[in-house]
Structure 1
Amino acid sequence: MPKLKLSVVYACGLACSVMLGACSSAPKDPTAGWSPNKIYAEAKDELNAGGYDKAVPLFDKLEGRAAGTPLAQQAQIDKAYAHYKAGEPLLAIATLDRFIKLHPASPAIDYALYLKGVINFNDDLGLFSGLTRQDLAERDQKAAKDSFESFKELITRFPESRYTPDATARMKYIVNSLAQSEVHVARYYFERGAYLAAINRAQTALKDYAGVPALEEALFIMVKSYDALGMIDLRDDTQRVLAKNFPQTPYLTQGFRSKSDPWWKIW
């Protein structure tokens, strides 16, 4: 019996030692004694210095410690921006969606909608970033449409917002790029001799996207397709529409632009 008791005591002591060792090796939270304002100041410093991976956890801590205050709301917005700048658009958008859902009356809702639009805009468009010559017309359209919807909600709900003018300009670009997507497909069909398919796709652009520059090429594709099909009357009618709406069009004298020249350069 004495030996058994000694073994039990030894085992308990060993367990306590292990637990104490584990506790002593646990990482300490350097922000444990910080006020919410100090956490926010440190997070903003990291954000402004490009330390996005360090800023995000600080904003997370601030959300918890300042819960229910305007500072916690600001932390969510700034965290979304940090995710965006860190190249994590999905996390940024998820954060903004959560913010919009939880704080529908926040005075920062217009900025949240604007930032959400910008994230999707930059995720799929290369014009403003200047990083690529591949235009949106040759890529997936989902991000562009999501961007358009965010900007549309912004300018509808907050017409006087400071972000509305830029959102409006970006919406114009998106609409033309979506039209150009249809035109890109129409030209693809035309170059492969599928003239009826080319005409149908060009007509879709004309029907869905009125008053945008991309329609100039759509009309020209229809002119060339009707000509290839020997449909002279329709060719001539379409050519008159092209000349009336785009009196300075180079298409009738120069033909298609080079593919190396992005369509948006003449807009």
Structure 2
Amino acid sequence: MPRGQDLLNAARLTLVASLSALVLAGCQGNNNRAELAYVARPVETLYNAAYRELERGRYTEAALLFDEVERQHPFSEWARRSMLMAAFTNYQATRYEEAIASAQRFIALHPGSSSAPYAYYLIAICHYERIYDVGRDQSTTQAAYDALQQVVQRYPDSPYARDARLKIDMTRDHLAGKDMDVGRWYLRSGFHLAAIGRFQNVIREYGTTSHVPEALHRLVEAYVAMGVAEEARQVAAVLGHNFPGSQWYEDSYSLLTSRGIDVPGEGVEETDPGLLQRALDRVFG
């Protein structure tokens, strides 16, 4: 969906203002954020000036002006609009922390507003667009996941929830990928119990992601390395039942047979349902 299109449509007004009397002055704080010199202006003049800058794509300038509306006219309806518009324009300028702060302030002051779902969604998107690759710290990914869950749980029937659900799947895949990355490192380094913990977590917490077949195979590898044949065999049974014909099952099959370990074939749930249940209990328990 176009980013912030609803806000832009809702905010469209006749542009009547001039920025000539408003000048940039100084910096504030450690982030060197510019601020506007205080020049008293009517609320509509400020808001329209901000909106004009937004349409021009001058997002930082627009955010400053929207903030100025709130600063000069804090109890007006325009201040409520400007708070969310400042969040949106900061987002457009990739000033994510400022965008999150404005959206959070809007939610705190106007929790029952019809625009609250968008504010929650904007917070989630600011986190989501900063997700790093799985080789890095995933705190941002977790923050994105938590914020997206807020959107879905609070406003399940909103259009924002539909998009959030799609992005939740992607964040879960990233989080699972991080566990897999760490688990593989543990496995290569000989820390088998730590590796098993990571791979089991992928299966328990991210069971619908694309990483599950590999996680099962890596469990087989870890159990074989520890000399625990029965556990390796049972996990292979789960892998063969759920992902028959996959490369990961073929790799597990080859590994086990090379060690002389009998491998349950496909259809194990029909020939020995107890074996499959024991394997599931061990992996997911």
Structure that is richer in helix per residue: 1
Describe the SS at the equivalent of 1:138: coil
Query: Which residue of structure 1 lines up, in the alignment, with residue 51 of structure 2?
Result: 44
Are 1:116 and 2:120 counterparts?
Answer: no
Which of 82, 104, 119 is 1:75 aligned to?
Answer: 82
Question: Which blocks of at least 5 consecutive residues in structure 1 are unaligned?
Answer: 1-26, 126-134, 256-267
Runs of 5+ unmatched residues, structure 2: 1-19, 24-37, 253-285
- Could you say what secondary structure the match of 1:160 adopts? coil
Q: 1:212-254: CA deviations, max 9, x gaps?
A: 2222221111111122223222112111111222235222346
Which of structure 1's runs of 4+ aligned residues deviate more than 6 A? none
Paired residue for 1:230?
A: 227
Name which of 176, 180, 186 aligns with 1:183.
180
Supply the distance in 1 between the matched residues of 2:251 and 2:57 (Cα, whole angstroms).
48
- More displaced stretch, 28-37 vs 87-96: 28-37
Q: What root-mean-square deviation, in Å, do the aligned CA atoms of Structure 1 and Structure 2 show?
A: 2.4
| Higher Cα Rg, which structure | 1
What is the TM-score normalised by the length of structure 1? 0.74
Alignment of 1:129-148 (within 5 A): 135=133, 137-148=134-145
Q: Over residues 2-33 of structure 1, what are the superposed CA-to-partner deviations in whole Å (9 max), with x where a residue is unaligned?
A: xxxxxxxxxxxxxxxxxxxxxxxxx9547958
- Post-superposition offset of 1:114: 0.3
CA contact (8 A) 2:217 2:251 kept: no
Matches of residues 23-62 of structure 1 in structure 2 within 5 Å? 28-29=21-22, 35-62=42-69
Describe the shift of the 1:28–1:218 C-alpha distance in structure 2 as closer, same or farther (beyond 3 A). Answer: same
Are the equivalent residues in 2 in contact too, given 1:93–1:119 (CA < 8 A)?
yes
Q: 1:150 aligns with which of 147, 167, 170?
A: 147
What is the CA deviation profile of residues 42-99 of structure 1, one whole-angstrom value per residue up to 9, with x for unaligned ones? 2123223221221122101222344333322221111112222223221211111111
Cα gap change, 1:245 to 1:65, in 2 (>3 Å): same
2:208 corresponds in structure 1 to 211
